[in-house]
Structure 1
Amino acid sequence: MCPQPTTVRPADDAGEQRERRVDAALAALILPDKVGLLSGAGMWAIAPNPAIGLGRLVMSDGPVGVRGEHWTPDDPSVQLPSPTALAATWDPALVRTAGRLLAQEARRKGAHVLLAPTVNMQRSPRGGRHFECFSEDPHLTAEIGTAYVHGVQDGGVGATVKHFVANDAETDRYTVDNRIDERTLREVYLAPFEAIVKRARPWGVMAAYNSVNGATMTEHADLTAVLRDEWGFDGILVSDWFAARDTVRAARAGLDVAMPGPATVYGAPLVAAVRDGHVPEAAVDAMARRVLRLAARVGLLDGADPVVAPAELPTAFDGRALAREVAARSFTLLRNEHAALPIDPAAVRRVALIGLAADEARTSGGGSATVFAEHTVSPLEGLRAALPGGVELVHAI
């Protein structure tokens, strides 16, 4: 990567008092305790440390809803339309409100960090998770992603922008080495991350599985330097789940948290690497400090005020109403031949609705974006409710 000018940023929004508390907590830890902050104690959480007043830090999948730790129909989630639909509203203010709703959901489910938004590019038809992404356009993705992060963090929950970077196609997603020239990398793939980091100041970024120009993203010291030194990112860099592969290379590259746990490339192997001189303890200190800073920001470090005080948390969002508004605002009508829409019930006697998805609605993709919704209205069900009884509705697969 060619050197770029350092970005000058305003003072940390956490404040000097919070940073002093973080430094004091770090100073009270010995090496194994510091390393204990750098990976999960289980699938979704970093273990507490009562000796320094640190609570249990819980992460949750997104981005269309909040799963929580226990993904079950017994605890359904508010499900928003896909992020592609969010972007199709072209309305950052609405998206910021959606982010605040997701923060409310995260707090209800006991999560402090939302693993979202996904700001990869929809640039290949083989991208199996495009429904999680906003757009094929870096500018639109940056605008919507910035609003999303602002909204989530307005609600006192950390947003984790993912997947850094160039994790844009499904084929060999875990192992592919994407070869990208620097101009394309910066103007297309890095551009949304850069805008979001500089403007929304997310508290987390997730490192992807893939490699870029020969180095895996959990071990990519050059791109981590762009993220931190050039853009001024001060949050945690967390691996995608099971993406961290090598203890020394990941630690020296600045990967803060290797998820999940307890079996991980950090833990005991990292303690040994420090004691053997392969990883400087100062690097572990920097990683642990960033984890403690995140905990302080979300209110999990005693003696440090959270970024958003409990009395200031936005609440009482109507999830159903907001999801419906986003869905309605996301529709784009490309052509309305013969003024077919809107349907005039007085002028028609019979309506045909064709396709399996009309009855078996597919409202989310797979992977980490699936949540159990409280209720789903299929197109067939919705039209039956909307049309008067005198209009026949015929469905065929």
Structure 2
Amino acid sequence: MSREEKAAFVSGGSFWTTKTLVHLGLDQPAVMSDGPIGLRKQASAADHLGLGGSLPATCFPAGVNLGNSWDRALVHELASALADECLNKDVSVILGPAMNMKRSPLCGRNFEYFSEDPYLAGELAVAYVKGAQAKGIGTSVKHFAANNQEYGRMRVDTRVDERTLREIYLSAFERVVRDAQPWSVMSAYNQVNGAYCSENEWLLETVLRNEWGFEGAVVSDWGAV
């Protein structure tokens, strides 16, 4: 790839798709779609929130409900059913599961997350990823990392010592990467210790790839880059 082709490819082809590079054999775009609790594919041009013109889809139980089930088999079954809908609607990658820790009760995404416990969140995320990817549908675990509040969610600098970060906020992600190898990891909007997650070398290279052995793609949260 030329430098220009690399820049074009990582920028995406549209709101929900990767860019095609036919001469390199990339003749079909990867189609991504929210979300963790029900497929949200748009039939028309995307609006800035990705909500308009969404196709009818099953509304599955949210992450908070799944967390209260403590049931790996149930989560695996749900993800498998969601993957079937993706296959039916030509979606390649589910933008989920969402698996941040429930640190603040005011976090607007808490209903999507499994738990405030990293072990439970990690175990259910593993089941989710395996359930979807067994059907050939990719997953994008999110939001990596320490994206746990609503106020200033897109710009806040999460200051946290390394032990706390590893034992609480990274633990579930480590489990799902090591045990299930999701196709992609979505980097969060916020900063962690002074560096935005989407350009945080320590998070994305030192930890995610070199320590945990992640082999998939990193995708930034929408509008983060």
Deviation at 1:108, TM superposition (A): 1.5
C-alpha change, 1:84 and 1:223, in structure 2 (3 Å) is: same
CA distance in 2, matches of 1:153, 1:159: 7
Matched, 1:133 2:113: yes
User: Structure 1 residue 214: deviation in Å?
Assistant: 0.6
1:33 alignment partner in structure 2: 5
What are structure 1's unaligned runs of at least 5 residues?
Answer: 1-28, 245-397
Higher relative contact order (CA 8 A, sep 6+): 1
State the 1:208 CA deviation. 0.3
For 1:167, give the aligned amino acid.
N
User: Over residues 360-381 of structure 1, what are the superposed CA-to-partner deviations in whole Å (9 max), with x where a residue is unaligned?
Assistant: xxxxxxxxxxxxxxxxxxxxxx
Runs of 4+ aligned residues of structure 1 deviating over 3 Å after TM superposition are 71-74
Contact 2:13 2:20 in 1 (8 A): no
2: CA distance between counterparts of 1:220 and 1:100? 32
Q: Residue 152 of structure 1: CA displacement?
A: 1.0
Correspondence 1:51 to 2:32: no
Give the secondary-structure state (helix, strand or coil) at the position aligned to 2:11: coil
Matched with 1:42 is 14
Secondary structure of the structure 1 residue equivalent to 2:31: strand
How far does the alpha carbon of each residue in 1:238-267 deviate from its partner, in whole angstroms, 9 at most, with x for none? 1001101xxxxxxxxxxxxxxxxxxxxxxx
* Separation in structure 2 between the aligned mates of residue 233 and residue 69 of structure 1, nearest angstrom: 30
Find 1:226's aligned residue among 207, 211, 215.
Answer: 207
Does residue 92 of the first structure (1) align with residue 72 of the second (2)? yes
Residues 68 and 110 of structure 1 are in contact (CA less than 8 Å); yes or no, is this contact kept in structure 2? no
Q: Which has the larger radius of gyration?
A: 1
Deviation at 1:74, TM superposition (A): 7.1
| Paired AA for residue 92 in structure 2 | H
Aligned residue identity for 2:7: V
1:34, CA displacement in angstroms? 2.8
What pairs with 1:55-134 in structure 2 (closer than 5 Å)? 55-70=28-43, 75-134=55-114
What's the offset of the Cα at 1:36?
2.2
| Residue-by-residue CA offset, 1:269-323 (whole Å, 9 max, x unaligned) | xxxxxxxxxxxxxxxxxxxxxxxxxxxxxxxxxxxxxxxxxxxxxxxxxxxxxxx
Rounded to whole Å, the distance in 2 between the matches of 1:47 and 1:69 is: 18
Match of 1:178 in 2: 158
Distance change (3 Å), C-alpha of 1:79 and 1:73 = farther
Q: Which residue of 2 aligns with 1:199?
A: 179
Offset, 1:58: 0.8
Task: Please report how far the alpha carbon of residue 110 of structure 1 lies from its aligned counterpart in structure 2 after TM superposition.
Answer: 1.4
CA offsets per residue over residues 59-115 of structure 1, 9 Å max, x none? Answer: 101010111233566731111011110121111011111111111111112110111
What's the TM-score once normalised by structure 2's chain length?
A: 0.92
Counterpart amino acid of residue 35 in structure 1? A
Q: Distance in 2 between matches of 1:173 and 1:34?
A: 29
CA positional deviation for 1:162 = 0.2
Report % sequence identity. Answer: 47
- Aligned AA for 2:213? G
Residues 1:237 and 2:210 aligned together: no
Read off the aligned partner of 2:36 and give its amino acid letter.
Answer: P
Report if aligned partners of 2:42, 2:52 keep a CA contact under 8 Å in 1. Answer: no
Inter-partner Cα distance in structure 2 for 1:73 and 1:49 = 28
